[in-house]
Structure 1
């Protein structure tokens, strides 16, 4: 998986799933398991534990990779049925809610982390990997290195974010990573999640929002402000425009202009 340039997260997840799968069978059985046996294993695991669609897909991908690498079996020989794709709209915070979240965070570093995620739409795993050298002050850009799919991209550095970043850097004086944690490493993903969790409670926001909701909110608010869909796709680092199009379904730019038939009644 390392040679195939899989991310550390994917390697860890696949390794865990494959180990779990192998523990269910004798060594002599594994090579000659039929597709039906594998499908039955996945079905029982998912239904007994009520696992999500994404977990099921990840399990199928991990098992297929194992058989392709270890035994040369083609993917077509292990055609497990994929779960039906869910159509869930992402959770989006309003501008007022974002403002409240930022205002209740008193710690400068924590405040700037949340601001940066919302301002640029970067993923949680990306924001903690940003280094000082990735910030181009003159061009007002931030380089995102090795994002999802191992792809680099640039995101804009807004004036307000720049001013807050400059104040943060002057105060904390990070040396390598923009947001440093304990020791020589970067800030942890868990710590960022806790920042938002506490801020949501303090701001009295009841939505089941996560750090990724800041990314969803960034994309939605950019579209509502008139930013071109293709540009939003580039900023978010989406491979397919179809992924970005989900935000057109939750943008209020057009839907709020629709007149309800109730408003035309005279009562």
Structure 2
């Protein structure tokens, strides 16, 4: 490891970034250096500009990928090197307003029942039942479950924040049965060897179950979180409460779940019945 990379890693750790984000940011600077075959601290402003043009016009990276490069490289120059790069202030990927992929309640059940290994099926069940991010779900410990109050403690979620989320009695009973049969001997609810199950392993299991179920949607494990929030909206829970459960910083993020849901669409069609009956060809 070069001295620069070591210093950037330490700066990211001191700033409180997660190991995953740290790896991603360091990798952006590594790709930048490899592109020019030179140490990144020797690059000019114009070369940095050309690199982002390359990412956009030649590699055609997505908005989210460009944003990771922007954040990683900006951190390296402004925090580690203490060097201001004006060009980075104009690199702003155009926002993409996409609705999340959502599974119906029946589709969620269809997918989950095709997961054979108990540890993966229970992990996916709790991720859906509590609206968790995959990173939050796989790291759950037995001490995070408050069965008396029907709550689950999510530790160090996005932004390093802890939060409590409701744990319904039915998934709680499923979790207790699972733990009695499979979970003992580890502090983690979903253990794998001496640690917890890996996110990529859980994604692989989910994709296989999705394919077997015949549900034709581009869903991932994170889709379970989107589906949970959408189903809460369908059942009339206010958006402010959903924001707190999901751990969003801004209500703007949560508002994406006010898209057309199945029940809203059904009510619209009822309203349209009278309006459209008299239409003729």
- Give the TM-score taking structure 2 as reference length: 0.88
Aligned to 1:144: 154
CA distance in structure 2 between the aligned counterparts of 1:251 and 1:216, rounded to whole angstroms: 12
Q: Does 1:40 align with 2:64?
A: no
CA distance in structure 1 between the aligned counterparts of 2:277 and 2:62, rounded to whole angstroms: 41
Q: Does 1:190 align with 2:204?
A: no
Aligned to 2:73: 63
CA distance in structure 1 between the aligned counterparts of 2:114 and 2:43, rounded to whole angstroms: 58
Helix, strand or coil at the partner of 1:142: strand
**Pair 1:44–1:141, CA change in 2 (3 A):** same
> Are the aligned partners of 1:229 and 1:244 in contact in 2 as well (CA < 8 Å)?
yes
5 Å-filtered alignment, 1:1-267, equals 1-25=12-36, 30-31=41-42, 33-34=44-45, 36-74=46-84, 76=86, 78-174=88-184, 175-181=186-192, 183-258=193-268, 259-260=271-272, 262-265=276-279
CA distance in structure 1 between the aligned counterparts of 2:142 and 2:250, rounded to whole angstroms: 30
**Pair 1:250–1:195, CA change in 2 (3 A):** farther
Equivalent pairs counted in the alignment come to 265
Structure 1 residue 250: deviation in Å?
3.5
CA distance in structure 1 between the aligned counterparts of 2:60 and 2:87, rounded to whole angstroms: 27
Q: 1:139-167 CA deviation, whole Å, 9 max, x = no partner? A: 11111101111111111111110110001
Bigger fraction of residues in helix:
2
- Unaligned 5+ segments in structure 1 are none
Q: 1:21-60 CA deviation, whole Å, 9 max, x = no partner? A: 12334658844612x4312211112332221101101111
**Pair 1:32–1:166, CA change in 2 (3 A):** closer
- Give the TM-score taking structure 1 as reference length: 0.92
Structure 1 residue 223: deviation in Å?
0.7
Structure 1 residue 266: deviation in Å?
5.7
> Are the aligned partners of 1:60 and 1:80 in contact in 2 as well (CA < 8 Å)?
no
> Are the aligned partners of 2:29 and 2:40 in contact in 1 as well (CA < 8 Å)?
no
RMSD (CA atoms): 2.0
Helix, strand or coil at the partner of 1:2: helix
**Pair 1:143–1:28, CA change in 2 (3 A):** closer
CA distance in structure 2 between the aligned counterparts of 1:29 and 1:217, rounded to whole angstroms: 42
